[in-house]
């Protein structure tokens, strides 16, 4: 055995060196993956205060650093002309102005959700029905309707809606964002379509998000 080791000690040294290098590369990849996960931005969109159209929605920043909120969008999904078609109507809800008949100088109907959202904090964006009905009323020049359904600009009942948050994060190029879809059943109750908020990280998701961002920025 000793003779065999003496004869092949050079080969053994090279093998051990490569094995050690492989172990270091393996652990380096693990550390790099953990570092990237901790540096990645992560936004959560959650529903609170019941399951109705008057539920409140929270945007939470679970990143290590602040995220600057640029745009908050709500997309209403309705049935199209046939059973297989679906169409979307998108609304900008990160900024709002007083209604035409509101003459008060100081009113809660005016404001913006744009700005930095610190790490570990949440932003209450209100109830989706209130935000959408106000924008429909502004668009049509009429008072906010009191229907129990969520309607788009054409008065069609929505079967689901998507909340999309677009922002800027220091360690990421371009814009970052997250979105979550909520289904509306026939009784008007709202339930999340997926178990968690989707982070817009794939090329397809980022392209779609950037197009909507450019349209409403």
Residue of higher predicted confidence among 129 and 47: 47
Q: How many CB atoms lie within 10 A of CB 177?
A: 30
Q: List, for residues 174-196, the tens digit of each pLDDT value.
A: 889 999 999 988 888 899 999 99
Residue of higher predicted confidence among 45 and 212: 45
| Highest averaged pLDDT of the listed ranges 32-46, 56-70, 87-101, 127-141 | 56-70
The pLDDT, as a whole number, for residue 36 is: 66
The pLDDT, as a whole number, for residue 137 is: 60
The pLDDT, as a whole number, for residue 145 is: 47
HSE-CB for 137 with a 13 A CA cutoff = 20
Rounded to whole angstroms, the Cα distance separating 137 from 143 reads 6
Cβ distance 99 to 110 under 8 Å? no
The pLDDT, as a whole number, for residue 101 is: 47
Where along the chain do its domains lie?
2-34, 41-216
The pLDDT, as a whole number, for residue 87 is: 80
Residue of higher predicted confidence among 193 and 146: 193
């Amino acid at each position: 055995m000793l003779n065999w080791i003496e004869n092949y000690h050079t080969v053994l040294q090279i093998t051990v060196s490569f094995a050690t290098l492989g172990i270091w590369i393996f652990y380096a990849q693990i550390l790099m993956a953990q570092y990237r996960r901790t540096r990645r931005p992560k936004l959560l969109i959650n529903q609170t205060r019941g399951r109705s159209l008057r539920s409140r929605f929270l945007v939470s920043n679970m990143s290590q650093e602040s995220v600057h909120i640029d745009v908050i969008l709500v997309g209403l999904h309705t049935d199209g002309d046939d059973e297989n078609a679906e169409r979307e109507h998108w609304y900008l809800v990160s900024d709002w102005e007083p209604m035409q008949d509101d003459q008060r100088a100081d009113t809660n109907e005016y404001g913006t959700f744009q700005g930095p959202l610190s790490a570990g904090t949440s932003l209450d964006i209100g109830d989706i029905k209130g935000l959408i009905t106000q924008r429909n009323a502004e668009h049509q020049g009429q008072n906010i309707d009191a229907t129990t359904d969520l309607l788009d600009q054409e008065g069609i009942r929505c079967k689901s809606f998507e909340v999309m948050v677009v922002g800027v994060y220091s360690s990421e190029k371009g814009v970052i964002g997250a979105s979550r879809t909520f289904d509306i059943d026939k009784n008007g109750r709202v339930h999340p379509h997926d178990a968690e908020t989707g982070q817009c990280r794939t090329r397809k998701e980022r392209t779609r998000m950037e197009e909507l961002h450019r349209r409403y920025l």
